[in-house]
Amino acid sequence: MGIKSFQGSRKQQNTAAPTALKVKDYMTTKLITFKPDQSVQEVVESLIKYKISGGPVVNGSNELVGIISEGDCLKQLSESRYYNMPLEHDNVEKRMARDVETIDGNMDVFDAANKFLNSKRRRFPIVENGKLVGQISQKDILKAALQLKGVNWNSKTNSSN
């Protein structure tokens, strides 16, 4: 005689594909931005005050022109000491990174996570129609992942196996 299952009938699995999580749903839209003509000292004060590690640099039309980070400020600090130049005499435009990689707000958050891993960046700005509309950070991606607790992570999984 074979072994019988006493578990009873199994609950029908949810076969609906989970909705893709988009970057735009988790990006930060209230950003602390910097201007090219601001002093590096002002940036350092803002980084400390707001407990951030960097931020986008925008022009008067809210167009992304660069990013400035703690590392950029540290370089300036080190050089200012070496050349005996006060911190307030340098501006953001001289120190910011100009080659800024952005991502699409419609990108899936898991694709964005891979982009973070491959680029070693801490944040990506999101630009629409030439204007800065938001920024996604590694922490934002982690928050999105936490909301998926108990949900199927792979939208391509076929539950009819």
| Angle formed at CA 89 by CA 74 and CA 70, multiple of 5 degrees | 20
pTM above 0.85, yes or no: no
Q: Which two tokens stand for residue 23?
A: 């970057």
- Token output for 19: 């909705």
From the number of C-beta atoms within 10 Å of its C-beta (0-12, 13-18, 19+), residue 147 rates as exposed
Structure tokens given for 95: 């120190």
Q: 3-state class of 121 per DSSP?
A: coil
Low-confidence ranges of the chain (pLDDT < 70): 1-19, 81-89, 149-161
Handedness of CA 9, 11, 13, 14 (dihedral sign): positive
Q: Give, rounded to a whole angstrom, the gap between the first and last alpha carbons of the chain.
A: 28
Domains and CATH numbers, the chain: 23-146 (3.10.580.10)
pLDDT at residue 37, rounded to an integer:
96
Hey, what amino acid is at 44? Answer: V
Angle, vertex CA 155, rays to CA 151 and CA 156, nearest 5: 140
